[in-house]
Structure 1
Amino acid sequence: MAGDLSRISVLVVDDNIHMIHIVRSLLRGFGIIDIHETRDSGEALEITRMEPIDIVILDYQMDLLDGIEFTQMVRTAQDSRNKLVPIILLTAYTERSRIIAARDAGVTEVCRKPVTPHELYTKIASVINNPRPFVRSKTFFGPDRRRHTGANYRGEERRASEQDVDQVSAD
């Protein structure tokens, strides 16, 4: 449970106005009051530079910058003021390759369309209640991609050495 959400600020980015209305209605139902919205990913970048946004919810496929490109800009652009903002990607494209691309771009959570209130709330609660540490390596900056934290993890995505990355704090 995420608790009282009335004090968080959310930016909704989708080029489909109907999807913005759906997401806004869900967010208001969760108690979120401060909702910024735009259909333009370029304008969304400007909003993240000018406003204290706590969570970004954006569509995968958009004109100008898609969700992956937007995420990369937020995470790595020199003038990005909120590189650690949680980003929840909404997508109807859930092929493994696209989910991996989103993860590798620095997306925090992926929420499948058609979005349900339960799934969106679960993703918001996850980024609030269980924030993942951010890591920086030579080829990646974003939330720790590993979901397994045990020292005995031997999966394909296991790091060769913890010295390969730096953990980044919000300071």
Structure 2
Amino acid sequence: MKVKPRRAVIVEDNAQMRELIHMVLGALGITEIVSAANGAEAISALQAGGADIVFMDWQMDVMDGLECTRRIRAGVDGIDPKTVIVLVTGMVGEKNAETAYAAGVDLFLEKPVSVKILHAGVEKVLGRS
């Protein structure tokens, strides 16, 4: 079992989806939650305080989720390349999932996504039973 996560970053340009993810993380006991509207803001948030888990959208202006994921995995910008990344996206299908995993995401979830699936996904990637 991994250490209980303390900080999360939600990278999502849709306010309703950010709120849904925030609610799930709060229910799991994660109290330090930072929101970012795009990948560039996420990089800044991660540089400022790191994160145990990042929820990332794929399609966003400025810097999309895959570019942000690749930067995190490359270890540039002083960010831990082992940070857990969950991609929650409207980009559906096996080819998109393969592309996302190749970029370095830990979990690929298709929108629309339920609270139950988000909760199960967090527990899966954080190694909870």
Q: TM-score, normalised by structure 1?
A: 0.68
**Which structure shows the higher helix fraction?**
2
Consecutive unaligned residues in structure 2, runs of 5 or more: none
Structure 2 SS opposite 1:129: coil
Which gives a bigger RCO, structure 1 or 2 (Cα 8 Å, sep 6+)? 2
Cα distance between partner residues in 1 of 2:63 and 2:110: 20
How far does residue 3 in structure 1 lie from its aligned partner after superposition? 9.8
Write out the 4+ residue segments of structure 1 that deviate beyond 4 Å after TM superposition. Answer: 2-5
Equivalent residues of 1:11, 1:57 under 8 A apart: yes
Cα distance between partner residues in 2 of 1:29 and 1:3: 18
Q: Say which of 31, 39, 42 aligns to 1:41.
A: 39
Q: TM-score, normalised by structure 2?
A: 0.88
User: Residues 52-111 of structure 1, C-alpha deviation per residue, up to 9 Å, x if partnerless?
Assistant: 310000111111111111100111153232110010000122222111110000000011
Cα distance between partner residues in 1 of 2:9 and 2:31: 11
How far does residue 18 in structure 1 lie from its aligned partner after superposition? 1.7
Equivalent residues of 1:67, 1:89 under 8 A apart: yes
Aligned to 1:115: 113
How far does residue 123 in structure 1 lie from its aligned partner after superposition? 1.4
1:6-155 mapped onto 2 (5 Å cutoff)? 7-129=5-127
User: Residues 118-162 of structure 1, C-alpha deviation per residue, up to 9 Å, x if partnerless?
Assistant: 2111111111117xxxxxxxxxxxxxxxxxxxxxxxxxxxxxxxx
How many residues were matched structurally? 128
Percent identical pairs in the alignment equals 27
User: Residues 21-79 of structure 1, C-alpha deviation per residue, up to 9 Å, x if partnerless?
Assistant: 12112222232211111113211101112213100001111111111111001111532
